[in-house]
Amino acid sequence: MAARNGRWQPGQSGNPKGRPSIKGEVETLARSYTSEALETLADLMRNGASDNTRMAAANALLNRGWGLPRQAIDGSLAIAPAPQKPIERMSLAELEAELAMLDEKRRLADLEEEERLEQERLTLIEGTVNIGNA
C-alpha cells in the first residue's frame, strides 16, 4: 500500500501479483490443436515413409492415450546404513563425516536423475526428428 507521499512502503511491491501470465492462454491455444495433432500422428502411423516414423507416431499416440510405460527403478542407491552408534554419542568429526557421506549420496542421486531426464529428452527429440523426416 502506498504511503501518504505516494511512494510504496519499504518491502512492498507496487505490483504485488506481478506481470499477468499468458501460460493459460498458450495452453488453451495448444490444446485447441489436439484433435488435429492426433489425426496427424495417426496418419503418420498408418502412412509414414519409414518404419521409424510409423513406430514413433504409434508410440506417441499410445503414450498420450495410456501414459508412459512403467520403468524399473534402479536400486543401486541404497538408503544410508544406520550409524554405528547413536547420534548423541558421536563426535563432531563423526557427525560431519556422516553428513558428508549423505551429501555425496544425494549428489550422486541428483546426477543419476539428471542423466535419466536428459536421456528422456533425447529420446523425445529423436522421435520428433524421425517424425519430421517422414
Task: Annotate 48-106 with DSSP letters as a single string.
Answer: -SSHHHHHHHHHHHHHHHH-PPP-PPPTTSPPPPPPSS-GGG--HHHHHHHHHHHHHHH
pLDDT tens readout for residues 34-72: 889 889 989 999 998 888 888 888 888 888 888 877 777
pLDDT tens readout for residues 83-128: 677 878 888 888 888 888 888 888 898 888 888 888 888 887 777 6
Residue 1: what residue type? M
How far apart are the C-alpha atoms of 34 and 64, rounded to whole Å? 11
**Better-predicted residue by pLDDT, 29 or 21:** 29
Q: What is the pTM of this model?
A: 0.39
Where along the chain do its domains lie? 23-132
pLDDT at residue number 2: 57
